[in-house]
Chains A and B, each alone.
Chain A
Amino acid sequence: AQTVTQSQPEMSVQEAETVTLSCTYDTSESDYYLFWYKQPPSRQMILVIRQEAYKQQNATENRFSVNFQKAAKSFSLKISDSQLGDAAMYFCAYRILGNTNAGKSTFGDGTTLTVKP
C-alpha cells in the first residue's frame, strides 16, 4: 500500500524567516508525481509546487522550493521569506503515472503552518 507521512502536525515560523515541512512516502511504483498543496481556512486546495519523480533537479516556485531525495523517498517543502498569507494547512501528495494503478493518488494528513508577525 502506498503511504504518505507528514511527521509534523503543526509548525510555526516567524514572518520573513524560513521553514521546512517534511514529507516521506512509500511506494513500489517507479513513475509518479509529487505535490505540495496549500489549504487555507476557505478549504480551497491550492497547488503550491509539483515534482516529476524522474527529474533529479528540485522544483522551485518563487519562495517555495523542494528537497527531493528519491532514494530516501523524501520530499520536503521549504518556504523562504514567510508571509502571513502562507498560514494554512499543507498537504504532501503523490500521483502514480503508469502501470495498473495509473492515476491513483495518496495524500498525507497535513501540517498546519502558523506564521507569527
Chain B
Amino acid sequence: DAGITQSPRHKVTETGTPVTLRCHQTENHRYMYWYRQDPGHGLRLIHYSYGVKDTDKGEVSDGYSVSRSKTEDFLLTLESATSSQTSVYFCAISESETGVTNTIYFGEGSWLTVV
C-alpha cells in the first residue's frame, strides 16, 4: 500500500469555523491531489499540486485553499466551513511522468461533517 496518511479521519465542525485536513505521503511522489466524494457525483477534484508551492485548481475549488510547503505534505483548508462542504475527502498521490506506473494512489479518506 502506498504510504498516504490523512488526518483527521473523522471531524465534526460548526458552520463558519476554519478546518484543515492534512495529507502526508512517504513515497516522494510529485503530484498530490484533494478530491471530495458525494453521492451521485463520484470523485471531484478540488485542488492538486505538481510540486512544492505549485498548485492548481480543480473543478470544485471554491471555498477551499491548499498549501504544499514540503514534498510530503499537502494541506486542504476550508476557511469558513459550510454545510455544503460536508463530504468525504480523499487525498491522492501520483508519480512524475518518468515514474513506472503513473498510477493514482489514494488515502483512506477523511469524513467531514459541518453542522
CB distance from B32 to the nearest CB of A (A): 9
Task: Select one of B30, B43, B56, B94 contacting A91, CB under 8 A.
Answer: B43
Could you tell me the distance between the alpha carbons of A27 and B44 in the complex, rounded to whole angstroms?
Answer: 16
Task: Select one of A35, A52, A107, A109 contacting B35, CB under 8 A.
Answer: A107
Q: Are B102 and A33 in contact (CB under 8 A)?
A: yes
Which of B31, B104, B105 has most A Cβ within 10 Å? B104
Chain A, interface residues (CB within 8 Å), range: 20 to 34
Grouping DSSP codes into helix (H, G, I), strand (E, B) and loop, the B interface class, with mixed when no group exceeds half, is: strand
Q: Are A107 and B33 in contact (CB under 8 A)?
A: no
Q: Does A97 contact B (CB under 8 A)?
A: yes
Q: Are B56 and A104 in contact (CB under 8 A)?
A: yes
Q: Are A35 and B103 in contact (CB under 8 A)?
A: yes
Which residues of B in the span 59-111 have a Cβ within 8 Å of any Cβ on A?
59, 88, 90, 92, 94, 97, 101-106, 108-109
Q: Are B104 and A95 in contact (CB under 8 A)?
A: yes
Q: Are B102 and A95 in contact (CB under 8 A)?
A: yes
Residue of chain B at shortest CB distance from A9: B40
* Chain A residues whose C-beta falls within 8 Å of the C-beta of B97 in the assembled complex: 97-98, 102
Task: Select one of A44, A47, A102, A103 contacting B103, CB under 8 A.
Answer: A47
Q: How many A-B residue pairs have CB under 8 A?
A: 61
Which residues of A in the span 89-115 have a Cβ within 8 Å of any Cβ on B?
91, 93, 95, 97-98, 102-110
Q: Does A55 contact B (CB under 8 A)?
A: no
Could you tell me the distance between the alpha carbons of A6 and B92 in the complex, rounded to whole angstroms?
Answer: 21
Could you tell me the distance between the alpha carbons of A33 and B45 in the complex, rounded to whole angstroms?
Answer: 17
* Chain A residues whose C-beta falls within 8 Å of the C-beta of B109 in the assembled complex: 43
Q: Does A11 contact B (CB under 8 A)?
A: no
Q: Are B42 and A109 in contact (CB under 8 A)?
A: yes
* Chain B residues whose C-beta falls within 8 Å of the C-beta of A50 in the assembled complex: 101-103
Which residues of A in the span 37-56 have a Cβ within 8 Å of any Cβ on B?
43-45, 47, 50, 52
* Chain B residues whose C-beta falls within 8 Å of the C-beta of A43 in the assembled complex: 37, 88, 108-109
CB distance from B41 to the nearest CB of A (A): 6
Could you tell me the distance between the alpha carbons of A35 and B41 in the complex, rounded to whole angstroms?
Answer: 18
Task: Give the top 6 A-B pairs by smallest Cβ distance, nearest first.
Answer: A45-B106, A109-B42, A103-B31, A107-B43, A110-B42, A33-B102
